[in-house]
Amino acid sequence: KQEVTQIPAALSVPEGENLVLNCSFTDSAIYNLQWFRQDPGKGLTSLLLIQSSQREQTSGRLNASLDKSSGRSTLYIAASQPGDSATYLCAVLNYGGSQGNLIFGKGTKLSVKP
Amino acid sequence: DAMVIQNPRYQVTQFGKPVTLSCSQTLNHNVMYWYQQKSSQAPKLLFHYYDKDFNNEADTPDNFQSRRPNTSFCFLDIRSPGLGDAAMYLCATSKITGVRNQPQHFGDGTRLSIL
Protein backbone atom coordinates (compact mmCIF):
# COMPACT_ATOMS: atom_id res chain seq x y z
CA LYS A 1 0.00 0.00 0.00
CA GLN A 2 1.44 3.35 -1.06
CA GLU A 3 2.33 5.73 1.75
CA VAL A 4 3.46 9.32 1.27
CA THR A 5 5.38 11.12 3.98
CA GLN A 6 6.32 14.77 4.20
CA ILE A 7 8.96 16.04 6.57
CA PRO A 8 9.00 18.41 8.34
CA ALA A 9 5.36 18.90 9.27
CA ALA A 10 6.01 22.61 9.79
CA LEU A 11 8.78 24.99 8.82
CA SER A 12 9.40 28.65 9.65
CA VAL A 13 11.99 30.68 7.75
CA PRO A 14 12.89 34.37 7.38
CA GLU A 15 12.01 36.10 4.14
CA GLY A 16 14.56 35.71 1.37
CA GLU A 17 15.81 32.25 2.30
CA ASN A 18 15.98 29.40 -0.14
CA LEU A 19 14.30 26.27 1.22
CA VAL A 20 13.61 22.64 0.41
CA LEU A 21 10.51 20.63 1.23
CA ASN A 22 10.76 16.86 1.23
CA CYS A 23 8.38 14.14 0.12
CA SER A 24 8.96 10.39 0.21
CA PHE A 25 6.84 7.51 -1.05
CA THR A 26 7.07 3.78 -0.45
CA ASP A 27 6.06 2.36 -3.86
CA SER A 28 8.06 3.54 -6.86
CA ALA A 29 5.45 2.30 -9.39
CA ILE A 30 3.94 5.71 -10.00
CA TYR A 31 2.64 7.55 -13.05
CA ASN A 32 3.48 10.97 -11.73
CA LEU A 33 3.98 13.15 -8.67
CA GLN A 34 2.25 16.44 -8.11
CA TRP A 35 2.97 19.30 -5.70
CA PHE A 36 0.10 21.43 -4.42
CA ARG A 37 -0.28 24.53 -2.33
CA GLN A 38 -3.17 24.92 0.10
CA ASP A 39 -4.00 28.22 1.78
CA PRO A 40 -6.00 28.10 5.05
CA GLY A 41 -9.63 27.15 4.44
CA LYS A 42 -9.08 26.85 0.70
CA GLY A 43 -8.76 24.17 -1.93
CA LEU A 44 -5.57 22.94 -3.55
CA THR A 45 -3.62 24.81 -6.20
CA SER A 46 -1.48 22.66 -8.47
CA LEU A 47 2.10 23.91 -8.57
CA LEU A 48 4.08 21.34 -10.52
CA LEU A 49 3.51 17.89 -11.97
CA ILE A 50 6.39 15.55 -12.74
CA GLN A 51 5.73 12.53 -14.95
CA SER A 52 7.49 9.32 -13.88
CA SER A 53 9.91 9.61 -16.82
CA GLN A 54 11.01 13.11 -15.83
CA ARG A 55 13.58 14.19 -13.26
CA GLU A 56 12.46 17.75 -12.56
CA GLN A 57 10.07 20.55 -13.38
CA THR A 58 10.48 24.28 -12.90
CA SER A 59 8.00 27.13 -12.60
CA GLY A 60 9.28 30.54 -11.61
CA ARG A 61 10.93 30.31 -8.19
CA LEU A 62 9.83 26.70 -7.76
CA ASN A 63 11.77 23.62 -8.78
CA ALA A 64 10.58 20.09 -8.11
CA SER A 65 12.75 17.03 -8.51
CA LEU A 66 11.84 13.35 -8.65
CA ASP A 67 14.02 10.33 -7.88
CA LYS A 68 11.62 7.49 -8.46
CA SER A 69 14.06 4.71 -7.60
CA SER A 70 14.67 6.09 -4.13
CA GLY A 71 11.07 7.19 -3.64
CA ARG A 72 11.86 10.84 -3.07
CA SER A 73 10.84 14.24 -4.34
CA THR A 74 11.87 17.71 -3.27
CA LEU A 75 10.29 21.09 -3.80
CA TYR A 76 12.84 23.90 -3.86
CA ILE A 77 11.59 27.45 -3.25
CA ALA A 78 14.04 30.21 -4.07
CA ALA A 79 14.07 33.60 -2.37
CA SER A 80 11.05 32.88 -0.19
CA GLN A 81 8.43 35.57 0.37
CA PRO A 82 5.71 36.00 3.03
CA GLY A 83 3.17 35.24 0.31
CA ASP A 84 4.63 31.73 0.05
CA SER A 85 3.23 30.94 3.49
CA ALA A 86 0.85 28.00 3.04
CA THR A 87 0.69 24.24 3.41
CA TYR A 88 2.46 22.34 0.64
CA LEU A 89 1.26 18.84 -0.21
CA CYS A 90 2.74 16.25 -2.49
CA ALA A 91 0.72 13.47 -4.05
CA VAL A 92 1.54 10.46 -6.22
CA LEU A 93 -0.54 8.68 -8.81
CA ASN A 94 -0.01 4.92 -8.62
CA TYR A 95 0.01 2.24 -11.27
CA GLY A 96 -2.83 -0.16 -10.69
CA GLY A 97 -4.84 2.10 -8.47
CA SER A 98 -8.23 3.44 -9.43
CA GLN A 99 -8.04 5.96 -12.22
CA GLY A 100 -6.63 9.20 -10.93
CA ASN A 101 -6.44 8.22 -7.27
CA LEU A 102 -3.85 10.59 -5.87
CA ILE A 103 -2.24 9.47 -2.63
CA PHE A 104 -1.41 12.55 -0.59
CA GLY A 105 1.04 13.32 2.15
CA LYS A 106 -0.18 15.33 5.14
CA GLY A 107 1.74 18.37 3.99
CA THR A 108 4.38 20.77 5.26
CA LYS A 109 3.07 24.00 6.75
CA LEU A 110 5.42 26.78 5.68
CA SER A 111 5.62 30.15 7.38
CA VAL A 112 7.82 32.86 5.86
CA LYS A 113 8.47 35.71 8.30
CA PRO A 114 8.97 39.25 6.98
CA ASP B 1 -11.52 32.92 -13.43
CA ALA B 2 -12.54 29.98 -11.30
CA MET B 3 -12.59 26.80 -13.35
CA VAL B 4 -13.79 24.39 -10.66
CA ILE B 5 -16.55 25.93 -8.61
CA GLN B 6 -17.93 24.48 -5.42
CA ASN B 7 -21.10 25.61 -3.71
CA PRO B 8 -21.64 26.47 -1.02
CA ARG B 9 -18.29 27.40 0.55
CA TYR B 10 -19.66 26.66 4.00
CA GLN B 11 -22.48 24.27 4.82
CA VAL B 12 -24.00 23.60 8.20
CA THR B 13 -26.40 20.72 8.65
CA GLN B 14 -27.96 18.83 11.50
CA PHE B 15 -26.96 15.37 12.58
CA GLY B 16 -28.77 12.90 10.31
CA LYS B 17 -30.18 15.51 7.93
CA PRO B 18 -29.31 14.80 4.27
CA VAL B 19 -27.07 17.33 2.58
CA THR B 20 -25.88 17.85 -1.00
CA LEU B 21 -22.69 19.58 -2.07
CA SER B 22 -22.23 20.70 -5.65
CA CYS B 23 -19.33 21.10 -8.03
CA SER B 24 -19.21 22.52 -11.53
CA GLN B 25 -16.38 22.88 -14.01
CA THR B 26 -15.69 24.92 -17.13
CA LEU B 27 -12.67 22.86 -18.21
CA ASN B 28 -14.61 20.15 -20.05
CA HIS B 29 -12.54 17.54 -18.23
CA ASN B 30 -13.67 13.95 -18.46
CA VAL B 31 -12.93 13.01 -14.84
CA MET B 32 -14.37 14.52 -11.69
CA TYR B 33 -13.33 13.55 -8.15
CA TRP B 34 -14.58 14.06 -4.63
CA TYR B 35 -12.09 14.13 -1.76
CA GLN B 36 -12.65 14.40 1.97
CA GLN B 37 -10.07 16.31 4.03
CA LYS B 38 -10.28 16.37 7.79
CA SER B 39 -8.35 18.89 9.86
CA SER B 40 -4.57 18.57 9.43
CA GLN B 41 -5.04 15.39 7.40
CA ALA B 42 -4.28 14.48 3.82
CA PRO B 43 -7.16 14.62 1.32
CA LYS B 44 -8.70 11.20 0.83
CA LEU B 45 -10.47 10.16 -2.37
CA LEU B 46 -14.10 9.14 -1.88
CA PHE B 47 -15.04 8.38 -5.50
CA HIS B 48 -14.70 9.66 -9.03
CA TYR B 49 -16.50 9.70 -12.34
CA TYR B 50 -14.65 8.81 -15.52
CA ASP B 51 -17.13 10.24 -18.01
CA LYS B 52 -20.34 8.55 -16.84
CA ASP B 53 -18.63 5.64 -15.13
CA PHE B 54 -18.81 5.83 -11.36
CA ASN B 55 -15.86 4.50 -9.35
CA ASN B 56 -16.24 4.10 -5.62
CA GLU B 57 -13.23 3.69 -3.35
CA ALA B 58 -13.41 0.48 -1.32
CA ASP B 59 -13.45 2.21 2.05
CA THR B 60 -15.92 4.99 1.21
CA PRO B 61 -18.92 4.67 3.58
CA ASP B 62 -22.29 3.81 2.05
CA ASN B 63 -23.57 7.06 3.52
CA PHE B 64 -21.78 8.92 0.71
CA GLN B 65 -23.15 8.93 -2.82
CA SER B 66 -22.55 10.93 -5.96
CA ARG B 67 -24.32 11.99 -9.13
CA ARG B 68 -22.98 13.37 -12.38
CA PRO B 69 -25.90 14.49 -14.56
CA ASN B 70 -23.63 15.94 -17.26
CA THR B 71 -19.98 16.73 -17.98
CA SER B 72 -20.03 20.00 -16.09
CA PHE B 73 -21.71 19.08 -12.83
CA CYS B 74 -21.09 16.59 -10.05
CA PHE B 75 -22.86 16.29 -6.69
CA LEU B 76 -21.92 14.73 -3.39
CA ASP B 77 -24.85 13.47 -1.34
CA ILE B 78 -24.47 12.57 2.31
CA ARG B 79 -27.59 10.67 3.30
CA SER B 80 -27.34 10.79 7.09
CA PRO B 81 -24.40 12.95 8.19
CA GLY B 82 -22.70 12.01 11.42
CA LEU B 83 -20.37 14.11 13.55
CA GLY B 84 -17.42 12.29 11.99
CA ASP B 85 -18.37 13.59 8.55
CA ALA B 86 -17.47 17.17 9.45
CA ALA B 87 -14.65 18.01 7.05
CA MET B 88 -13.60 19.98 4.00
CA TYR B 89 -14.93 18.37 0.82
CA LEU B 90 -12.85 19.02 -2.26
CA CYS B 91 -13.91 18.55 -5.85
CA ALA B 92 -11.29 18.10 -8.54
CA THR B 93 -11.19 17.50 -12.27
CA SER B 94 -8.65 16.20 -14.72
CA LYS B 95 -8.32 15.16 -18.33
CA ILE B 96 -7.18 11.58 -18.63
CA THR B 97 -5.36 10.91 -21.89
CA GLY B 98 -3.75 7.50 -21.94
CA VAL B 99 -1.17 7.08 -19.24
CA ARG B 100 0.11 10.65 -19.25
CA ASN B 101 -2.39 11.97 -16.78
CA GLN B 102 -2.81 15.69 -16.57
CA PRO B 103 -2.79 17.68 -13.32
CA GLN B 104 -5.86 17.59 -11.16
CA HIS B 105 -7.53 20.98 -10.73
CA PHE B 106 -9.25 21.61 -7.42
CA GLY B 107 -12.08 23.85 -6.33
CA ASP B 108 -11.96 25.92 -3.15
CA GLY B 109 -13.84 23.26 -1.23
CA THR B 110 -16.96 23.17 0.90
CA ARG B 111 -16.47 23.11 4.65
CA LEU B 112 -19.19 20.99 6.20
CA SER B 113 -20.15 21.37 9.84
CA ILE B 114 -22.54 19.05 11.67
CA LEU B 115 -24.63 20.30 14.58
In tens, the pLDDT along A34-55 reads: 999 999 888 899 999 999 999 9
| CB-CB neighbors (< 8 A) of A41 in chain B | 88, 109, 111
Res B96: pLDDT: 76
Q: Whole-number mean pLDDT of chain A?
A: 92
The helix/strand/coil state of A49 is strand
- Using the Cα atoms of residue B74, residue B79, residue B81 and residue B82 in order, give the sign of their dihedral: negative
CA distance B88 to chain A (A): 8
Distance CA A93, CA A82 (A): 30
Q: Which residues 20-49 of B are in CB contact (within 8 Å) with A?
A: 31, 33, 40-45, 48
- Using the Cα atoms of residue B38, residue B39, residue B42 and residue B48 in order, give the sign of their dihedral: positive
In tens, the pLDDT along B42-81 reads: 999 999 998 999 988 888 999 999 999 999 999 999 999 9
Q: Is the pLDDT of residue B99 over 70?
A: no
C-alpha torsion A46→A47→A50→A51, nearest 10? 30
- Among B6, B44, B96, the residue with its CB nearest the CB of A99 is B96
| CB-CB neighbors (< 8 A) of A96 in chain B | none
In tens, the pLDDT along B6-38 reads: 999 999 999 999 999 999 999 999 999 999 999
8 Å CB contact of A106 and B40: yes
Q: What average pLDDT does range A84-111 have in this prediction?
A: 86
Sheet hosting strand B4-7, strand order edge to edge: B4-7, B19-25, B73-78, B64-67
